[in-house]
Structure 1
């Protein structure tokens, strides 16, 4: 028999255990009714975009192993989402600028497929310059990484564009002779892997952040003492992208080979970001760069954060050529344009009759106005074919090689710029309401330029 005091102590302990378990459960994603779930994603410029429900609102997020907490942006105002337990903080990431203000919000409801989390912390950034939508051509409202990966074994199939979430306790690894498994290390909840990079003739061991949120193949931080330098191959200066803290510039080059145990890739496109842009990332003294999506998409990938390992298996993308923008044009979807389009309208006789075969007597050409995406040149690489042809930042592309740009997706237009060396590109553009035409040929960006 328990005394009244014993009963009170027992009750307090039970309540404490229940509350502790509830609080811990709140901070996790879970599949309440199943052991596995399948989620389809869009693959745009090597980046995975997944549907995410936040506090009852359907949004789209980048799946990014390079972030520890979800970040929400591209939200016009705070009324569109109900944010809970808000406080102001500053966040920073890659880029040459300063930290940006953000709201830290707790106790938010997240749903990804059938996986739910009833107490998710999120950072909300209202800086309108931090927005992936113009570069991808589809709405993107945020990024999520560790918060999802930590709670499941996650399979990524880049070929079928399917993401599978498995409960860790019920997942069984299959025998796979063609797979390689690697140990992961973590720094601030971000995964790192060891690899070998051959730069020139020197093989260098490198520790790399696994970054599914970067569309490049490989980033390396220059360090002459370690033999990590762009000087072993022809290189050019380029805009590498935009991080949370501003623009990232650097060099683009190639390295001789890149090895992940038995997997080897040759002549790998590699970016060498300038030290100013990555000074925050280099707080991890052991980090030598990033392994990004242009390489990752060549594998079927299994992330197992709980066991601190990743498993890779080659897929049909493995031997694909490394592509790069050979035009020098950086393009964004900047709003929409009102476009006049021609279409055929059915025409009948004065009595509204068609012929005896029930077909219309004739058709007439008519026009309609429609709202279509507008693609604007936002950066032009110095010395590139596009710059030499006379194109300028701010030019709006109306057509490319005879095809109306507004009838194409952004990635379709960009694909023209990644075509074979020597391909002729013909552009019709709008420059301050004047229509102009330009023509140039795509070049090997890594070919050594002849001195004048």
Structure 2
């Protein structure tokens, strides 16, 4: 995984949720849900899977389709690209400010309960919505497609939702339909409209403990551990310093390490790659729910998943990815595709003491070829995989750097 991307979609939702719960009293949204029109009771639709994230087509006020990330870590609808709402009178919206993970200031946003949303054949009117004043996350660059926002609780609470990461399909159906669900059941604890799991984790310098973890399909990492007993979570002895991405407040710094194992239901996963955000930039800034951290899509994608928010349970069926190792980027550079420049890839942050830094690669460099193959024939996901192809493997890069074409040979290195 590329470090800067690990948390761009780990946008901190905490204070956003708190603001919106104040703006929309529970009675005002009680009973609201997505519903099929007519006699339809279920639907199957395709989604795009990019860097572990589920991107679905969504219609806003009968316009679209727009690309939204299906995110169990967000409660209200979050619109990151306000340009899709060109028919709204922003002077009539309620301004608010949002804080969260990161080193920067609070950002400006609007709240609305006049947004109508359709997903497939289902629709909900007057969806509680937060609208960022500007697109601060640049999700489009890092996913390689234009991303307009995130959708979570109100859709997931309306149906039983089955996600198949392998076939890239999502099936959702009314709760009154009785379907046999494959997999083992894991109880969820719903807090502020978000699902939490209580899982057993064996962590270095901590030992075995019961962790309260947010289930977060909108985060591309596997596991993040933030706090323990109200204090910074102890780091493992083996770790690397890393930029973990962007939150509402700016850059999130921290470390990456591993835990010995994590048990979820009847399955135990070993040597799990883990983010450790700096406490001052993360857990210390947000209202405590007693959580220790979160599990993200790098872990979730190893299962076929069925969400049943109404009954506070999730069903997990292991798929063929279960035994895959938790690999980390081995190049030390972050690659993105600049929006509006189709199939042009650029390098952003460079990790200290990484193969990329040792070869003199600099931010802003354009990537032209990998292993003598033009990147115009590759997508972002393929490039990510090539840059974690294996410890000790050589990757030949053709670059445009400092107004000239240069070749670099990276020897990939497993750094954690």
The TM-score bracket by the shorter chain reads: 0.7 to 0.9
Q: Is the 8 A contact 2:76 2:152 kept in 1?
A: yes
How many residue pairs get aligned? The number is: 386
1:418 corresponds to which residue? 388
Where structure 1 has 5 or more consecutive residues not aligned to the other structure, the ranges are 1-22, 338-371, 447-452
Structure 2 Cα separation of the partners of residues 120 and 223 of structure 1? 35
Q: Residue 30 of structure 1: which of 22, 26, 35 is its match?
A: 35
Structure 2 Cα separation of the partners of residues 83 and 52 of structure 1? 21
Q: Is the 8 A contact 2:257 2:274 kept in 1?
A: yes
**C-alpha deviation, 1:226, in angstroms:** 8.7
Q: Is the 8 A contact 2:226 2:232 kept in 1?
A: no
**C-alpha deviation, 1:243, in angstroms:** 2.0
Matched, 1:49 2:71: no
**C-alpha deviation, 1:280, in angstroms:** 6.1
**C-alpha deviation, 1:85, in angstroms:** 5.2
Query: RMSD of the alignment, in Å?
Result: 2.3
**How has the CA–CA distance of structure 1 residues 399 and 99 changed in structure 2, closer, same or farther, with 3 Å as cutoff?**
same
**C-alpha deviation, 1:84, in angstroms:** 10
Structure 2 Cα separation of the partners of residues 124 and 282 of structure 1? 20
2:309 corresponds to which residue? 305
**C-alpha deviation, 1:129, in angstroms:** 2.5
Query: In terms of Rg, which structure is larger?
Result: 1
**How has the CA–CA distance of structure 1 residues 83 and 144 changed in structure 2, closer, same or farther, with 3 Å as cutoff?**
farther
**How has the CA–CA distance of structure 1 residues 84 and 262 changed in structure 2, closer, same or farther, with 3 Å as cutoff?**
farther
Structure 1 Cα separation of the partners of residues 152 and 105 of structure 2? 23
**C-alpha deviation, 1:141, in angstroms:** 0.5
1:392 corresponds to which residue? 362
After superposition, where does 1:36-435 map in structure 2 within 5 Å?
36-58=42-64, 59-76=66-83, 78-79=85-86, 86-174=93-181, 176=182, 179-200=183-204, 202-223=207-228, 228-232=233-237, 234-279=238-283, 282-336=286-340, 372-435=342-405
Structure 2 SS opposite 1:205: strand
**C-alpha deviation, 1:235, in angstroms:** 0.7
Q: Is the 8 A contact 2:185 2:315 kept in 1?
A: yes
Structure 1 Cα separation of the partners of residues 84 and 163 of structure 2? 33
Which segment drifts farther, 413-422 or 263-272?
Answer: 413-422
2:24 corresponds to which residue? none
**C-alpha deviation, 1:74, in angstroms:** 2.8
**How has the CA–CA distance of structure 1 residues 153 and 84 changed in structure 2, closer, same or farther, with 3 Å as cutoff?**
farther
Structure 2 SS opposite 1:133: helix
Which segment drifts farther, 376-385 or 238-247?
Answer: 238-247
**How has the CA–CA distance of structure 1 residues 160 and 98 changed in structure 2, closer, same or farther, with 3 Å as cutoff?**
same
The alignment's TM-score, normalised by the length of structure 1, stands at 0.80
Q: Is the 8 A contact 2:100 2:286 kept in 1?
A: no
Deviations 1:230-279 (A, max 9, x none): 224x1101111222222222111111111013110111111111112213
Structure 2 Cα separation of the partners of residues 208 and 415 of structure 1? 27
**C-alpha deviation, 1:196, in angstroms:** 0.7
**How has the CA–CA distance of structure 1 residues 80 and 376 changed in structure 2, closer, same or farther, with 3 Å as cutoff?**
farther
Structure 2 SS opposite 1:159: coil
